[in-house]
Every structure is written in C-alpha cells, then in structure tokens.
Amino acid sequence: MELSETYLQSVFLEMFSANIDTHWPNISIESLAQERKGAIRTGPFGSQLLHSEFVKEGIAVLGIDNAVQNRFEWGARRFIAEEKYQELKRYRVFPGDVIITIMGTPGRCAVIPENIPLAINTKHLCCITLDQDKCLPTYLKFCFLTHPSVLRQLNVSERGAVMPGLNMEIIKELIVPHPPLTLQQKFVDIAQRFERLQAQQREAERQAEHLFQTLLHKAFQGELSLDEDKVLIPDVEVTKQQALVLTDVIDPISKDAYQMALPLE
C-alpha cells in the first residue's frame, strides 16, 4: 500500500493550471521575496567555508541532501562553530524559506520547517525568504516543480527532471502565476493533511521493518517459537479509510485528482 506521490501534483495542476483564471497576474519570483538585501541568496563560496571548518556540533549547515527528495529531510549532519556562524550569518535560513538545489542534482525543492534550529545554507542551495503576504512557500515550491509555464521557462520537458544550468539569477527571473492568497492557503491546507498521512505511512513502514528484523534475529537465534499464542504486530497499514480525511479540504478538487490520493493496490 502506498500513497501516490503524484496526488499533490494533480491537485496543484487542477487548482492553478487546468482552470487558469486569466485575471491572475504573472510575477517574478524576485518580486515575491521580502524587500530586503539577501532575501534570495546562495551560500558561502570558496574559502568562506572549508570542509576543515566543520565541527561535531554547533550551528547546522544545510546542503543538497536536505532537499533532494523534494521535501525537507535531515541528511548527513554538518555543523560550524558559533564563531564561524558570526562570519556567515547573512546566509542564515529561516522557517518557511524555500530552498532549491543548484548544484549536484539541480532543481530539487523543499520548504524549511517551522522547528528548524539555527542554520545556514551552503553554496549548493538557493534560499528564498518570501513575503508571505504575497506568496506562501508551499505554493511556490509546487509552482517551481510542477507548473507547466515554469517548467517551459526552465526548458524542462517533464516534471521531476534534473534542471542543468540552474542558478540564482535564473530563479529570480522566473515568472509564476500569482493567484489570491486565499486559494494558495487552500492548497497548503490540502498539502499539510496529505503530508501528515505520508508521515504516518513512513513511520508505519519503519515499525514494520523493525518488527521484521527483530523476528528474523530471533529466528536465527532459535528464540522464535511457532507455538507461541500470538505475535504482537503493530497496526502498520495506512488504509483508504485514513485517506478519507482529505475530503474535508478537497472540494472543489476533481474526483480524479482525489482518487490518486488513495493507496495503490
């Protein structure tokens, strides 16, 4: 059983592309950022930050691995000392920032979570601090990854493809549709509910794998009895009934798009 990764893409396209309101303005990403220096930035270059300056604990340093799955995840932990942070604090990332990979695997995108500790980004990421009275981070993330007009500007023929040659200036100049904030928020609500279901499923899969490894170890050690009354197995299935919580926010999304949210059999 697996919650379809294409569900949110389908919802986004249904809301913002399939039924385009021609009265929505088109606006550059640069115009959606906060009106301050460094609202769109990359990380420290060259000798500003050397690998030899990483320490075992301190201020976190975010890189490609934190966005490569198109969602924020902690990868290999990297830290700098407080003294080094004071030199590089203009590269700080904030909750709600949108990060886009521009090296390694360019074109991956994630939103910085609300509980992020003090952190900076590396030169491998472009970090955008939005004016959230204009644009919500989750909307911009999906616009960048999914909207046909944005993908055409990036010369990408299909969603999910690597975007070679991506850099901060290209990102700044990208033109995106600018729908009302209320509609953006409606999509964010849908995304948050769906992502909670995905998190539940990932945790269920983790528990199931742990259980399997435990039973396997016992079997090889000769400690597993087939005569045991029962083996306690946690409830690890994310069911279609659980997915139905999405109906609270799905209207007016099409039935076809909603069906993609249900687990695949």
Which two structure tokens, joined as six digits, stand for 258? Answer: 């909603």
Overall size of the chain counted in residues: 265
| CATH 3.90.220.20 domain range(s) in the chain | 25-178
The burial of 183, by beta-carbon neighbours within 10 Å (0-12 exposed, 13-18 middle, 19 or more buried), is given as: middle
- CATH architecture of residue range(s) 25-178: Alpha-Beta Complex (3.90)
pLDDT at position 99 is 98
Q: Note the Cα 163 to chain centre separation in Å.
A: 17
In this predicted model, what pLDDT tens digit does every residue of 153-185 receive, in sequence order? 998 866 666 677 899 999 999 999 999 999 999
In this predicted model, what pLDDT tens digit does every residue of 69-123 receive, in sequence order? 999 999 889 999 999 999 999 999 999 999 999 999 899 999 999 999 999 999 9
Q: Is the pTM of this model over 0.85?
A: no
Confidence of residue 137 (pLDDT cuts 50, 70, 90): very high
**Mean pLDDT of the residues in the chain:** 83
Confidence of residue 260 (pLDDT cuts 50, 70, 90): very low
Instruction: Using alpha carbons only, give the angle 10, 130, 123 rounded to the nearest 5 degrees.
Output: 95
CB 246 within 8 A of CB 190: yes
In this predicted model, what pLDDT tens digit does every residue of 223-249 receive, in sequence order? 776 554 455 555 544 444 454 444 454
CB 12 within 8 A of CB 146: yes
Determine what percent of the chain falls in helix, strand and coil, rounding each to the nearest 5: 40, 10, 45
* Amino acid letter, residue 6: T
CB 133 within 8 A of CB 173: no
d(CA 117, CA 79): 11
Give the contacts of 15 (CB within 8 A, at least 6 positions apart).
183, 186, 187, 253
Q: Note the Cα 39 to chain centre separation in Å.
A: 19
pLDDT at position 222 is 77
pLDDT higher than threshold 90 for residue 135: yes
